[in-house]
Chains A and B, each alone.
Chain A
Amino acid sequence: MGGKEKLERFEQAVLPHLNAAYNLARWLTRNEHDAQDMVQEASLRAFKFFDGFHGLDARAWLLTTVRNTCYTWLAQNRRSQLTTPFDEEIHGVEEDALNPSALALKSGDMEMLKKSLEELPDEFREVIVLRDLEELSYKQIAEVINAPLGTVMSRLARARGRLKQILCSHLKEKP
């Protein structure tokens, strides 16, 4: 593949998915500036290895690279955050104590939802971002996070369960 042809093909395949790439990087780094660096670094890596891309799904392929880039970066920069265990003590809420109507989210609760999602461990946050924000299929998510379909299914279930717990604990704090 000639250099120019490769560049054109790459730009056609990848540039339309920059929003998806940025959104994932932004949620994984939780920081606007780092997210931009991650997308740039991932794009360069994707370009270097573009000859090896024969698939049809450029978005999932790019997101895989973005995710790997972010995890490498997180491991180096936020070692402590990666290993922070989910604190059931803080977030634990008895199921019975939930007020069902509290979950009928109003627009004013968006900040709280955002905050709750940010508090989720990376492995849970990413599947929610990929499914509920990016609307990837389970099969695509399996490709991006390099895990079997069954793992995607159970991780999403656990992730949403925890998100609900965190959200409820915040709703309870609210006066």
Chain B
Amino acid sequence: MDCSNAETLLDAYVDGELDALRNLDIEEHLHGCARCAQSYSDRQAIRGGLKTASLYFKAPADLEKRIQRSVRQAAKAEAPAGWFSGSWLKIAAPLATAALVVLMLAPYFAGPSSDQILTQEVVASHIRSLMVNHLADVPSTDEHTVKPWFNGKLDFSPPVSDLAKQGFPLVGGRLDYLNNRPVAALVYQRDKHVINVFIWPSDNSAQTGGPIKTHQGYHMIRWTGSGMNFWVVSDLEQSQLAKFADLLKSSLAPMAS
């Protein structure tokens, strides 16, 4: 074995990832080559240093609680059958208050209770997408990039159209989870405002729609058309959002025919 071969395999040797034969080869080489032997001991020194506990960042004590809370909240949204315990509610009193607000808004949607849950999920997803800045899995202003990105990730192909010319540029797409299923989330922007559009197939082929609604400062417009459910959510001013929804509807209409 020559030096360049040894150099290539040295790390795998240090890591114990080589087969027995190559192990022997490299040991033989290290025996006779001072330069590679020095490389080897350098690597061991660095590895030894890295292994000391001071470089390993342990999770802060309250992180587990924080994760548990948020995951349980997500679980609750997925399975609203009421299995969660009273103690959970105590921890999440503010969330319960938020849920109450949603319930108070529910009559406006005049739908079944699953609609109330969905409203809550849509707002939560929108907020979450802004909170941790995970807006887009595929950041792109090109509808021909965003649309194919969903291939294989969803069991449907969401309609995607860029509205940049009309002042609402597409900024990307994201995989999200609503109504107990993966959905497409399209992200648009108007000045500094972010608009999330959630899309998934509808059982209902009829064209339906609801009035614009507001929840915690976020406006929502939803409709069903072309065999898809659409939920638009943003903190954008109401009339602007209505304009956006109209533009989106008319841009998608030709696709349906």
Cross-chain contact of A3 among B17, B47, B79 (Cβ < 8 A):
B79
Cross-chain contact of B135 among A27, A76, A128 (Cβ < 8 A):
A76
Query: Any chain B CB within 8 A of the CB of A147?
Result: no
On whether A113 and B49 interact (CB within 8 A), knowing A47-B71, A48-B177, the answer reads yes
- A128 and B56 CA atoms in complex are apart in Å by 12
Query: Any chain A CB within 8 A of the CB of B5?
Result: no
Cross-chain contact of A39 among B51, B56, B63, B136 (Cβ < 8 A):
B63
Instruction: Determine the chain B residues whose CB is within 8 A of the CB of A104 once the complex forms.
Output: 45
Interface centre among B50, B64, B70, B139 (most CB of A within 10 A): B50
The prevalent SS among residues of B at the interface is helix
CB distance from B244 to the nearest CB of A (A): 23
Question: Are B59's CB and A167's CB within 8 A?
Answer: no
Question: Are B15's CB and A40's CB within 8 A?
Answer: no
- A137 and B18 CA atoms in complex are apart in Å by 12
Cross-chain contact of B15 among A26, A44, A107, A156 (Cβ < 8 A):
A156
Cross-chain contact of A153 among B12, B137, B177 (Cβ < 8 A):
B12
Cross-chain contact of A156 among B11, B72, B134, B139 (Cβ < 8 A):
B11
On whether A110 and B68 interact (CB within 8 A), knowing A100-B38, A100-B42, A160-B43, the answer reads no
Interface size of A as a range: 35 or more
CB distance from B202 to the nearest CB of A (A): 21
- A4 and B82 CA atoms in complex are apart in Å by 10
Interface residues of B in 33-81 (CB under 8 A from A): 38, 41-43, 45-52, 54-60, 63-64, 66-68, 70-72, 74-76, 78-79, 81
Instruction: Determine the chain A residues whose CB is within 8 A of the CB of B64 once the complex forms.
Output: 15, 18
Question: Are A105's CB and B46's CB within 8 A?
Answer: yes
Question: Are A19's CB and B71's CB within 8 A?
Answer: no
- A76 and B194 CA atoms in complex are apart in Å by 15
CB distance from B73 to the nearest CB of A (A): 9
Instruction: Determine the chain A residues whose CB is within 8 A of the CB of B67 once the complex forms.
Output: 15, 18, 39-40, 43
Count B interface residues, CB 8 Å. Answer: 51
Cross-chain contact of B63 among A4, A36, A132, A164 (Cβ < 8 A):
A36
On whether A44 and B54 interact (CB within 8 A), knowing A4-B79, A113-B49, the answer reads no
Chain B 96-136, CB-CB to A under 8 Å as 1, else 0, gives 00000000000000000000000000000000100111111
Query: Any chain B CB within 8 A of the CB of A55?
Result: no
Question: Are A23's CB and B56's CB within 8 A?
Answer: yes
- A154 and B177 CA atoms in complex are apart in Å by 38
Instruction: Determine the chain A residues whose CB is within 8 A of the CB of B47 once the complex forms.
Output: 132
Cross-chain contact of B49 among A3, A69, A105, A138 (Cβ < 8 A):
A105
CB-nearest residue of chain B relative to A149? B17
Chain B 205-224, CB-CB to A under 8 Å as 1, else 0, gives 00000000000000000000
Chain A 15-53, CB-CB to B under 8 Å as 1, else 0, gives 100110111001100001001111111011001110000
Question: Are B59's CB and A39's CB within 8 A?
Answer: yes
Instruction: Determine the chain A residues whose CB is within 8 A of the CB of B139 once the complex forms.
Output: 75-76
Question: Are A110's CB and B49's CB within 8 A?
Answer: yes
CB distance from B222 to the nearest CB of A (A): 21
- A103 and B59 CA atoms in complex are apart in Å by 30
Instruction: Determine the chain A residues whose CB is within 8 A of the CB of B177 once the complex forms.
Output: 48-49
Q: Which residues of B contact A (CB under 8 A)?
A: 7-8, 10-12, 15, 17, 38, 41-43, 45-52, 54-60, 63-64, 66-68, 70-72, 74-76, 78-79, 81, 83, 128, 131-137, 139, 177
* Additional 7 contacts, C-beta under 8 A, given A40-B66, A138-B12, A138-B17: A3-B76, A4-B75, A7-B75, A15-B64, A157-B10, A157-B11, A164-B42
Q: Can you list 22 pairs linking A and B with CB atoms under 8 Å apart?
A: A2-B79, A3-B75, A4-B79, A4-B83, A15-B64, A18-B64, A19-B56, A19-B59, A21-B59, A22-B57, A23-B57, A32-B57, A36-B66, A40-B67, A41-B128, A48-B177, A76-B133, A103-B46, A110-B54, A110-B55, A113-B49, A164-B42
